[in-house]
Every structure is written in structure tokens, then in C-alpha cells.
Structure 1
Amino acid sequence: MTTKHGKILSYIESLPVGEKISVRTIAKQLDVSEGTAYRAIKDAEMKGLVSTIQRVGTIRIEKKRKESIENLTFSQIVNIIEGDVLGGSKGLDKVLNKFIIGAMTEDAMIRYITKGSLMIVGNREPAQKLALENGAAVLITGGFDTSHEIVELADRLELPLIKTSYDSFTVATMINRAMTDQLIKKEIMLTEDIYTPIEKTDYLTTENTVMDYRRLNEKSGHMRFPVVNKQKRLVGIVTAKDVIGKPDRMSIERVMTRNPFYARTHMSVASVAHTMIWDGLEVMPVLADDLTLKGIVSRQDVMKAMQSAQRQPQMGDTIADQINQLLEISESEENGVVYKFPVTPQMTNSVGTISFGVLSEVISDAVYQFLTFMDKRNAVVEQMNLHYFKMIQMGSEIVIEPKVFDMGRKSARLDVNVYAENIPVAKAVLVCQIMQRT
């Protein structure tokens, strides 16, 4: 039987994109309380179904799907190179393994052709035929067409035959870029990747007592447990401080903390970490769409995940990775630890000075490394105020000098000076979250 919460979510999902919704309207149309409607709308916002815009209200938006780039198909290649499919359309869903540029004779070419590969070639029909007969798709560059015989062969073998107006070098660069994106390993980690499932989770029910908590505490060694009702829906969380001085026979429902923070499987580890840090949480329940308990995620799980992501090897470099590789730590007698960064052509804008976004990333990276150097872990920039005094030219080397002027248990504030040729060129003030083992 569909719950009221599920019914509201289904209704919201059925609305056209751009439709404005409100708590009062949904409560009236679906005959539910405004509290139930409000919770469902907030849940829809977390799922990416609606968005709240200031001075406009809450509107239905198109849900963004998490794109999978694990496999690059010929269909995606067609979109990347703005190509036209001449034949073999049934094979567009096949996966591309590698590409070859056919700038050689047919006899020399044969050793490089493998099944699942893509032969990039001009208006050379013998080479096109050779590639198709050996299991490779064909991409014809320069906007050339081909014969009816080659098209029929591609259809019969179900191997894509594509043409594009770009030249071979441009096409190879575009495909290589797409394959590099495919190889970037540091993906956004979600809660579903790290949480402990309910089968391995200790929890209590509203029918349990304080004595049941104490027994479970002795058995597991943990001090925080989710509390669920008969339908396994989360109703609260109970900790050691909740049961101190309470009689053994008292119901857990009377001592638990109601409406606790919780996570969903689709939430990023970073967003969960943010909540845990600022609200001092050690454990967060993980819920399904119908609010039933799926498991828990602990602060320890979050820390391990973030540290693992930082250590993960890269097969394709992002801009952030390139910055990290170029940033060098140095020591200054006057200022202690400083960081040096060379401004390469890739890091500049159209007028040859360092991009504002790159400078922000360089400063953030220097601060991460600086806090790690100070034996802190998993710093996340919460706020940055960056002031750019002078243009930083391509080919110059900048020196980043971070200093902590306020350090707390959960956050740090830093003052960062940036120099080029010993002249101040920028200054930033950063507020960072800090996650430490407790």
C-alpha cells in the first residue's frame, strides 16, 4: 500500500517541469496535512525533483541523472564529433576499446586493427573495407561519402560507419579527450558506497526499554542506536546521555531524541560529512525513500572514504590534479612554510594572466596541504574571500603563504598572502571545516 509520503512524491514527479508548487496546494489537493506535505517537498528537493528559488518559490525541475562514463560507445562518439551515421546503426551501442588513425598502407594497417576498435580514415575505400572485415568500426573524416558497397557491408556486420567534416587530427583529439574523461577515477563518493547495511546494524524499536539499550551497548560496544517503529521507519536515535539516570523499565520512546538527522543513499559523502562536523554527530541513520531504515553511516566510515579518495591513483588528470602536481612546498626563514606554483599557459585566461578560478584552486590546495602538515585531516573550504591586487602573468611563479589566525575543534580560519616576485598580488581569508578522529 502506497504511503501518503510516497503518494505526494509520485504526484510531484508527475507534474510538468516549471510547475510551481506549495505546501498548502499539495495538502489541499491530496488531502494530507501541511506537515506531511512539507516533509515530502523537502524530500523531493533532496532527490532533485524540485528547487526552491528566492522570490519565486518552489518549482518542479528536471531530475539530473548521474551519467555513467565507464563505457564509451560509438553512439557517444557520434555526438562528440558531430558525425553522421552512414551505416551499421545496429552497432552504435557497442563499446569503443581504442581508435586507430589509418595513415598507412593496408598491409601495415592490418596488425593494428582489433575488434571493438575505431578506424579513423579519409576517402580510402580499401582501408574502410579492411577495417570492417576485421571487426572495427570506421570513421570517415573530411566530410567524404563512401560507396553503397561499404554501407551494405557495415549494415551486414552491424559495425558503425560514421562520417564527420573534421580532419583526422581534430577528431583524434576530441575522442582522446573523451577517453581521458572516462579514465578519471576520482568520482564523487555517495553514501550508498560506504554505509553499513541494516543486516549488520544494531538498532532498537519503540517497544524496547532502557535495559534493552544497556544490553545492546554491552554486546556491541556502541553508544548510539537508531530507533524504529513496527514498520522499520526511523522515529529517533538514542545515545548514552539519553539513558543516564533513567530506570531500566522506562520505554526507549520516552528517552530517545526525536527527528534526528539522517542520510539518503544518493547523498554525497561530502554533504554527510558537513552535517556530521557542524552538528557533532558520530552516527547518522541511512533511510530508504519510504523512510525505512537501510543502515547507518559513521564518522569513521566518512573519514576512511575521504582519505581513500585522496589517495586514489589517477589515470586521467583533472585541472585540480595538475595544480596539485605543480604545487611545491618550501620553507622560508621569515614566514615558515610557503608553497610555490608556476603559472603555465593552461592555467591562464584569454589575456595571458592566471585564471581567477585557478588561483582560487591553488590557494585552496595550499591550505589543504598546510592543514595536513599541521597534523589535521580532511579540511573542507567552507568560505573564501579572495582579493586580486595585480595581474599574475603567464610564466611567473607565485608564492602562497598561509597562516592560521583562529583554530577551533571543528573549524579553522586562515589568512593567505600571495606574492609574485616578492610583490603582494592577492590575499585571501578562508574558513575551513576540520574533521578529526574523536
Structure 2
Amino acid sequence: MATKHEQILQYIHQLPIGEKISVRQIAKEMGVSEGTAYRAIKDAENKGYVSTIERVGTIRIEKKRKENIEKLTYAEVVNIVDGQVLGGREGLYKTLNRFVIGAMQLEAMMRYTGAGDLLIVGNRTKAHELALQAGAAVLITGGFDTADHVKKLADERQLPIISTSYDTFTVATMINRAIYDQLIKKEIVLVEDIIIPLEKTAYLRVNDPIERWYVLNKETHHSRFPVVDDDWKVQGIVTAKDVLDMDRQLPIEKVMTKQPITVNGKTSVAFASHIMVWEGIELLPVVDDHHRLQGIISRQDVLKALQMAQRQPQVGETIEDLITAQFRESGDKETLFRCAITPQMTSYLGTLSYGVFTTIVTEAAARMLRAYKRGDLVMENITIYFIKPVQIDSTVDVKAKLLELGRKFGKVDVEVYNEGAIVGKAMMMCQLIDR
């Protein structure tokens, strides 16, 4: 039977898009405490079913699919620019196609403004009105208000008209930054992208006899199965080692490994890969927030996903990309590469930051190991010594030396020099994953 929390989530999920909800309303409708209602609404917000907007409230929104994640809703724009909604609250859940900066004559402005757009403009009431008539929402910069008849039109058209105290340039930068961040998130492969769903998952129940393991093993050729109770909550994992030489009529719960490692759908595949390599696991159960089985992921699928991700062109640029973009191959046999220290790579003191230094030596070790052995690697241990600060706009030479290479691991020593003097040193141990 569903819990009160789950019933509230189901209730929220069934609400029409754009419906406004509150803690008090949910508590009254569902006959629960306001604390229970609040927790459920927060959970719904985390799941992308609702959005809370300052001075507006919480509204039911359409959950974004991953392919549309780079598109913002007007509600998200309100939060990004710390805006105030002057009218058209019913349209906050809608997705904007693009934004148009209204720094031109009115006639020219309208040529570029269409349905689903967001016009960013100052206190030009006529522009506000024409944009709404064209099917676009309006973001007024400089903290200005608009005419009452424009607010009424926004309500009628269900198109938000928003006011923010920021100037036009700052607003455009903030929205661009938000879209850019969304693009980076879109490229991160999550467990939910590669999950083997529950209907295709072989699992055992706590009361099943060990004989059932042998049946599943023969059917699937797998040796590791999640164990669930009557509520579908994962209680354990059973492997071939657990059932070896055991009475086949014993219940599974007698031999299973309790409290197994699990992941959820929002876990990154890279993180799951690290767990699987570190623990030597071939299969991981995927659970929801209530620890109920949703499916499984296999090590083979994880590695395939990582290889595919590496081949994809990257749109968003991460901090690591900014750093590795400065790497230049060196003609010197002893020096692996040179790296220019840009302003983004420094601390507030104007010297190379510790985090960037770690990325530099880690990348050096990875490149060294890949030169000897193809495949992926997981950093297992790193020891770093910072010797001297490195100034902004200088160049460092990075030298890497392979200390030991086995079938499953590699050990690398990395030294970083600036103007011929050593400034840092690191030693790393990595686990190697065959492709």
C-alpha cells in the first residue's frame, strides 16, 4: 500500500500543468499534517513536477525530458534574474524558445519577436504590449513596472511579464550562463539513461529457495541477483559464492549479502563505474528514493556508455575542459606537455590553484598510462606535494614517469616545473579498465 508521501506525490502528478498548490491546501486535501505535505512538495520539486517561485508560489510544471533540458521555462527565468511577476502567472510553466534583446526601433524589434520568445527590454510599454500580442513573454529590465492594461493582456494570453532590477546585459549573461550549465548537465550520462528496467530484470524474493537462484542463473547466465521483499525494497544481493554448497531449499535471505551497494537513476554513470571497479561488482541494483527496485545496470553497459560519451562532441565547457585546453605537446622527450596558466586557473592570490594543479597532474598520469595501455582508468590514490607557487600567465612543464604497470593497475610519478624549478610533485595509483 502506498504511503501518505507517495499518495501526495501521485496527487501532485495528476494535477493539471500550471495549477498552483500550497502546503496548507495539500494538507487539507489529503488529510495529512503540513509537515508531511511540505516534505512531499519538496520531493516533487526535486523530481521536476513543481516549481517554487518567490512572490508567486508553487506551481505544477511539465517535467522536462533530457533532450529539452537546455530550454528554460519562464518560471526558471524568474528565479535566475530574481524577478517579480507582474502578470501572466498562468504561463510560467511554459518553455521559452529563445530570448530577444529589445535594443532597437519598435518595428525592427517586432520582426524578431515571435510566439514562445522572451523579449528583454526596458520601460517601453508599447513594446511590452506588442510582444504579448505576438505570443512572446516580456522581461522588463531596470526594475520598471508596466501599464495595467499590459498586465491584463498578459493574464489573458497566459504569458508572463516579469520585472527585474538587473540591466539588459546582465540579464542576458545570466540566462546564457543558465542555458550553458544545462547543456553540461545534458551531456552527463546518468544511470537512468542505461538502466535495464524492472520488467527485464531478474531478481529474487527473500523467501525464495536457493533453488530459484540456479533457475535464474541458467536462464540469464548471470550470477548476481538483487533480493527484494514484498514491498519491492532491496534487501540484499545473492552471488554464486553465497549459494555454493548450500542446501537448495534454504530461503535466499539466509545466504544473501545484506545492505548491498545500490544507486539511483540520477547517479552519474561515471560514479557508478568507479563503484563497480573499486568493489569488483558486475551488477548494481537501481532503486528509487524509497529503496524500491527500479532495475539494474551491468558493468558492460556502464563501460559502453562511457565509451560512447567520450566519442560525443561536447557542447558545454567544464572547468576541466578549460584547463586541458591549455595543454600543448612538448618536443622534449622528458616533458609530456606544457600548460599555460590562465586567469581562470588561479586562486584569489593570483597563483595556480590547488584544484587546478590536481587536474594537471591527474591528466598527465592519464595520458601517460593511455600511451602504454588502451582503455579507461579510475583514480584510486593520489599523493601531492606543493613546493612553490606558480604565478598567473606563466607556463609549467609537466613530466610523467611510469613507475609500475600491471594488468589491472598503473603507478605514475608526475613532476611539474616552472622556469626550470620544480613546483610540485604527485604520485598516483590508477585502476585500469579494459574496453
Note the C-alpha offset of 1:263.
1.5
Contact 1:185/1:314 (CA < 8 Å) preserved in 2?
A: no
- Aligned residue number for residue 149 of structure 2: 149
Contact 1:229/1:235 (CA < 8 Å) preserved in 2?
A: yes
Structure 1 length normalisation: TM-score?
0.72
Contact 2:236/2:260 (CA < 8 Å) preserved in 1?
A: no
Percent identical among aligned pairs is 46
Output the CA distance in 2 between the equivalents of 1:354 and 1:66.
39
- Relative to structure 1, the CA distance from residue 264 to residue 176 in structure 2 (aligned partners, 3 Å threshold; closer, same or farther) is closer
Code of the aligned partner of 2:100: I
Note the C-alpha offset of 1:260.
6.9
Give secondary structure in 1 for the equivalent of 2:366: helix
Contact 1:186/1:312 (CA < 8 Å) preserved in 2?
A: no
Code of the aligned partner of 1:81: V
- Aligned residue number for residue 36 of structure 2: none
Query: Structure 1, unaligned stretches of length 5 or more?
Result: 11-48, 50-60
Give secondary structure in 2 for the equivalent of 1:392: coil
Output the CA distance in 2 between the equivalents of 1:185 and 1:96.
19
- Aligned residue number for residue 352 of structure 1: 350
CA displacement, residues 114-152 of structure 1 (integer Å, 9 cap, x when unaligned): 112111222323322222221122222233333333333
Note the C-alpha offset of 1:417.
0.9
Output the CA distance in 2 between the equivalents of 1:229 and 1:292.
9
Contact 1:120/1:140 (CA < 8 Å) preserved in 2?
A: yes
Residue 104 (structure 2) pairs with residue 104 (structure 1) = yes
- Aligned residue number for residue 324 of structure 2: 324
Give secondary structure in 1 for the equivalent of 2:142: coil
User: More deviation in 341-350 or 132-141?
Assistant: 341-350
Output the CA distance in 2 between the equivalents of 1:421 and 1:253.
64
Q: Which structure 2 residues correspond to residues 10-25 of structure 1 after superposition, within 5 A? A: none
- Aligned residue number for residue 171 of structure 1: 171
Contact 2:365/2:413 (CA < 8 Å) preserved in 1?
A: no
Note the C-alpha offset of 1:423.
2.5
Give secondary structure in 2 for the equivalent of 1:332: coil
Output the CA distance in 2 between the equivalents of 1:204 and 1:152.
60
Code of the aligned partner of 2:361: I
Residue 258 (structure 2) pairs with residue 259 (structure 1) = yes
Output the CA distance in 2 between the equivalents of 1:168 and 1:225.
56
CA displacement, residues 246-297 of structure 1 (integer Å, 9 cap, x when unaligned): 79x6657599553373424346234433332233222334456676654432
Output the CA distance in 2 between the equivalents of 1:317 and 1:352.
22
Which residue, out of 424, 427, 432, partners 1:426? Answer: 424
Q: Which structure 2 residues correspond to residues 150-299 of structure 1 after superposition, within 5 A? A: 150-186=150-186, 188-203=188-203, 207-208=208-209, 217-226=217-226, 237-240=237-240, 253=252, 256-259=255-258, 261-266=260-265, 268=267, 269-287=269-287, 293-299=293-299
- Relative to structure 1, the CA distance from residue 416 to residue 158 in structure 2 (aligned partners, 3 Å threshold; closer, same or farther) is same
Code of the aligned partner of 2:119: M
Give secondary structure in 2 for the equivalent of 1:395: coil
- Relative to structure 1, the CA distance from residue 294 to residue 100 in structure 2 (aligned partners, 3 Å threshold; closer, same or farther) is closer
Which residue, out of 412, 415, 421, partners 2:413? Answer: 415
Output the CA distance in 1 between the equivalents of 2:377 and 2:403.
16
- Relative to structure 1, the CA distance from residue 256 to residue 407 in structure 2 (aligned partners, 3 Å threshold; closer, same or farther) is farther
- Relative to structure 1, the CA distance from residue 416 to residue 66 in structure 2 (aligned partners, 3 Å threshold; closer, same or farther) is farther
Code of the aligned partner of 2:134: N
Q: Please provide the CA RMSD for this pair.
A: 3.8
Code of the aligned partner of 2:368: F
CA displacement, residues 304-340 of structure 1 (integer Å, 9 cap, x when unaligned): 23333333332221222222333344453235xx132
- Aligned residue number for residue 370 of structure 1: 368
Output the CA distance in 1 between the equivalents of 2:182 and 2:128.
27
- Relative to structure 1, the CA distance from residue 243 to residue 119 in structure 2 (aligned partners, 3 Å threshold; closer, same or farther) is closer
- Aligned residue number for residue 405 of structure 1: 403
Contact 2:70/2:180 (CA < 8 Å) preserved in 1?
A: no
User: More deviation in 130-139 or 398-407?
Assistant: 398-407
- Aligned residue number for residue 385 of structure 2: 387
Give secondary structure in 1 for the equivalent of 2:384: strand
Output the CA distance in 2 between the equivalents of 1:252 and 1:233.
17
Output the CA distance in 2 between the equivalents of 1:434 and 1:332.
27
Output the CA distance in 1 between the equivalents of 2:300 and 2:179.
34
Note the C-alpha offset of 1:100.
1.1
Query: Structure 2, unaligned stretches of length 5 or more?
Result: 7-38, 49-63
Contact 1:89/1:155 (CA < 8 Å) preserved in 2?
A: yes
- Relative to structure 1, the CA distance from residue 204 to residue 357 in structure 2 (aligned partners, 3 Å threshold; closer, same or farther) is closer
Contact 2:263/2:272 (CA < 8 Å) preserved in 1?
A: no
- Relative to structure 1, the CA distance from residue 64 to residue 311 in structure 2 (aligned partners, 3 Å threshold; closer, same or farther) is farther
Output the CA distance in 2 between the equivalents of 1:270 and 1:295.
18
User: More deviation in 69-78 or 198-207?
Assistant: 198-207
Output the CA distance in 1 between the equivalents of 2:151 and 2:230.
64
Code of the aligned partner of 1:393: Q
- Relative to structure 1, the CA distance from residue 392 to residue 158 in structure 2 (aligned partners, 3 Å threshold; closer, same or farther) is same
User: More deviation in 251-260 or 175-184?
Assistant: 251-260
Note the C-alpha offset of 1:221.
3.5
CA displacement, residues 393-436 of structure 1 (integer Å, 9 cap, x when unaligned): 23222222223334455544332111223322222233334333
- Relative to structure 1, the CA distance from residue 167 to residue 306 in structure 2 (aligned partners, 3 Å threshold; closer, same or farther) is same
Output the CA distance in 1 between the equivalents of 2:297 and 2:253.
24
Structure 2 length normalisation: TM-score?
0.72
CA displacement, residues 181-219 of structure 1 (integer Å, 9 cap, x when unaligned): 122245554433323234323455665566x66665455
Output the CA distance in 2 between the equivalents of 1:99 and 1:414.
49
